[in-house]
């Protein structure tokens, strides 16, 4: 029979499945929708890079929001913090039913704060329902359920674009009718996510002494200066750069590569499917008994190798300017190959998920007593990197992106492996000292 903690993790995953279906699907189509709106006869006045600027605002306020996320989650409780954040996300998505520039940027700022609440509360709830023995399994289970939505998003977009004939016309844009239908479905899924969060069950946790807002805030700032956290700053940030590329920019690059076929918006759906497949496989991998034999370092290394091959393939295959505009040029080293690019998308998301699962496991084990603060620090660095990424994303070519991501990956890998080995050595030394002390006292 399933234990209460496992049931809670599955329930949490299903709630995120619904909410992230709405938000991540929006993320994959927003640039195409904005382009269509700008090109329509009664279009809204929006900057051509409005999607990038919105993402930069979101991650900018997300970064700042992490400073107060821990005390807010402690005050509200994980369940109510998750529910409030889900409401903010759903209002943001619903704004695209009647797109308005002022509301778009203002709600982007609110979503950033909502994200700080959402992901910190997720980490707290996961920690409350995990032990050192179940941390990797529960993290893998959560990712497998949560990010299985990406596969459903790909199928949903494929069916929508195929039925509407998007991509076969001369403009190759999403029609207003398609956009309306898409955002009605997405808003409904967001509403379902809110309801699912509201029915989360409380978990069996030992009650701790109440702390006031100021104490928690100061403790969070002190944790920023913790030696382990400082060493993890770059690995945390790299997950932000990586997830921003494969969840935000990759599908746009595929849709803008004309040589992949005449129906580019359907190719966008395939790109989303490939990303979803990579996330799902990684999540399932770390739910299996095999994962118990893998150390965190090995899990990180597997993810890094997959990511490295994806970077090389995309560097060679994609035309330099596809992150900025549609292009019928060849790739940097070869003509764009659809299968190779889609396989690269799967490897990117597989690698990124391997990293996230190992970091989740690390935080659950090392910072169980200060979970809200630790998750806030992690999400601060991740959000800061994402904000920076979306700020410079439209201004450099795709090959420059690949080089920067590779450098970030190499440095993050070196730091994480060194820290893991240092911690194991320190734990072994502490264990020996403890045994020696007990022997002396005896």
CATH number at residue 366: 1.20.1250.20
Q: How many CB atoms are closer than 10 A to CB 98?
A: 10
In a domain, 211, yes or no: no
CA–CA separation, 337 and 317 (whole Å)? 7
In a domain, 214, yes or no: no
Q: What's the pLDDT at 436?
A: 62
Q: What's the pLDDT at 264?
A: 65
Q: What's the pLDDT at 47?
A: 73
CA–CA separation, 285 and 37 (whole Å)? 41
The torsion of the CA quartet 174, 175, 181, 185, rounded to 10 degrees, works out to 10
Q: What's the pLDDT at 167?
A: 44
Q: What's the pLDDT at 323?
A: 75
What are the beta bridge partners of residue 257? 327
CA–CA separation, 67 and 116 (whole Å)? 9
Domain that holds residue 76: 7-38+47-200+220-429
In a domain, 51, yes or no: yes
- Give tens-digit pLDDT for 128-180: 888 777 777 887 788 778 777 877 887 887 787 776 654 444 445 667 777 88
- Reading the chain (442 residues) residue by residue, the pLDDT tens digits are 678 888 898 999 999 999 999 998 888 778 778 877 766 555 566 777 787 788 888 888 988 888 888 888 888 888 999 999 999 999 999 998 888 888 999 999 999 999 989 988 988 898 888 877 777 788 778 877 877 787 788 788 778 777 665 444 444 566 777 788 889 999 999 999 999 999 998 765 555 555 666 777 777 778 888 888 888 889 999 888 888 887 777 877 887 787 776 666 677 778 888 888 888 888 777 777 766 677 888 889 999 999 999 889 888 888 888 777 777 777 777 888 888 888 988 898 899 888 988 888 888 787 777 767 887 788 888 888 888 887 888 788 888 888 999 999 999 999 988 988 888 777 677 666 666 665 665 5
139: Cβ contacts below 8 Å, ≥ 6 apart: 126, 130, 286, 356, 357, 360, 361, 364
- Give tens-digit pLDDT for 94-113: 998 888 888 999 999 999 99
CA–CA separation, 177 and 414 (whole Å)? 49
In a domain, 212, yes or no: no
Q: What's the pLDDT at 306?
A: 93
In a domain, 215, yes or no: no
How many independent structural domains does the chain possess? 1
In a domain, 96, yes or no: yes
With the C-alpha atoms ordered 345, 348, 350, 353, is the resulting torsion angle positive or negative? negative
372: Cβ contacts below 8 Å, ≥ 6 apart: 69, 70, 71, 73, 74, 120, 123, 124, 216
Residues in the chain: 442
Crossing angle of helices 101-128/338-366, nearest 10°? Answer: 50
CA–CA separation, 161 and 406 (whole Å)? 33
Which residues of 86-232 form beta strands (DSSP E)?
none
In a domain, 208, yes or no: no
CA–CA separation, 296 and 302 (whole Å)? 10
Are the C-beta atoms of residues 170 and 288 closer than 8 Å to each other?
no
CA–CA separation, 173 and 62 (whole Å)? 31
CA–CA separation, 273 and 376 (whole Å)? 30
CA–CA separation, 45 and 412 (whole Å)? 41
How far apart, in Å, are the Cα atoms of 94 and each of 89, 158, 197, 258? 9, 22, 19, 31
The torsion of the CA quartet 40, 46, 50, 51, rounded to 10 degrees, works out to -30
Residue of 57, 62, 72, 64 lying closest to 116 (CA atoms): 62
In a domain, 76, yes or no: yes
Q: What's the pLDDT at 169?
A: 42
């Amino acid at each position: 029979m399933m234990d209460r903690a496992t049931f809670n993790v599955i329930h949490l995953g299903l709630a995120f499945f619904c909410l992230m279906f709405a938000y991540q699907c929006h993320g994959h189509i927003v640039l195409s929708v904005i382009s269509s709106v700008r090109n329509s006869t009664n279009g809204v006045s929006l900057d051509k890079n409005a999607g990038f600027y919105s993402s930069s605002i979101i991650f900018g306020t997300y970064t700042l929001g992490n400073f107060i996320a821990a005390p807010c989650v402690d005050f509200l409780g994980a369940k109510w913090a998750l529910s409030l954040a889900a409401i903010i996300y759903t209002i943001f998505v619903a704004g695209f039913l009647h797109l308005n520039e002022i509301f778009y940027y203002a709600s982007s700022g609110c979503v950033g704060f909502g994200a700080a609440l959402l992901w910190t509360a997720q980490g707290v709830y996961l920690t409350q329902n995990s032990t050192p023995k179940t941390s990797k399994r529960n993290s893998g289970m959560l990712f497998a359920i949560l990010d299985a939505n990406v596969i459903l998003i790909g199928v949903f977009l494929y069916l929508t674009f195929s039925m509407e004939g998007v991509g076969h016309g001369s403009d190759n844009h999403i029609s207003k009718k398609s956009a309306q239908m898409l955002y009605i479905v997405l808003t409904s899924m967001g509403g379902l996510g809110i309801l699912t969060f509201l029915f989360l069950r409380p978990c069996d946790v030992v009650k701790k002494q109440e702390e006031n807002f100021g104490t928690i805030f100061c403790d969070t700032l002190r944790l920023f200066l913790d030696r382990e956290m400082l060493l993890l700053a770059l690995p945390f940030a790299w997950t932000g750069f990586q997830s921003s590329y494969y969840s935000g920019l990759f599908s746009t690059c595929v849709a803008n590569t004309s040589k992949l076929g005449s129906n580019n918006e359907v190719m966008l759906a395939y790109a989303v499917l490939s990303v979803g497949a990579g996330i799902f496989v990684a999540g399932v991998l770390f739910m299996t008994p095999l994962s118990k034999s893998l150390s965190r370092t090995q899990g990180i290394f597997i993810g890094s190798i997959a990511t490295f091959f994806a970077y090389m393939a995309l560097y060679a295959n994609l035309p330099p300017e596809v992150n900025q505009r549609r292009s019928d040029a060849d790739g940097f080293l070869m003509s764009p190959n659809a299968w190779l690019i889609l396989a690269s998308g799967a490897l990117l998301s597989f690698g990124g998920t391997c990293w996230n699962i190992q970091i989740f496991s690390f935080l659950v084990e090392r910072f169980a007593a200060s979970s809200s603060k630790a998750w806030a620090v992690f999400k601060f660095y991740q959000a800061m990197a994402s904000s920076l990424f979306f700020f410079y994303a439209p201004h450099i070519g795709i090959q420059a992106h690949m080089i920067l991501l590779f450098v970030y990956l190499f440095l993050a890998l070196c730091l994480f492996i060194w820290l893991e080995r240092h911690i194991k050595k320190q734990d072994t030394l502490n264990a020996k000292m403890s045994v020696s002390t007990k022997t002396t006292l005896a």
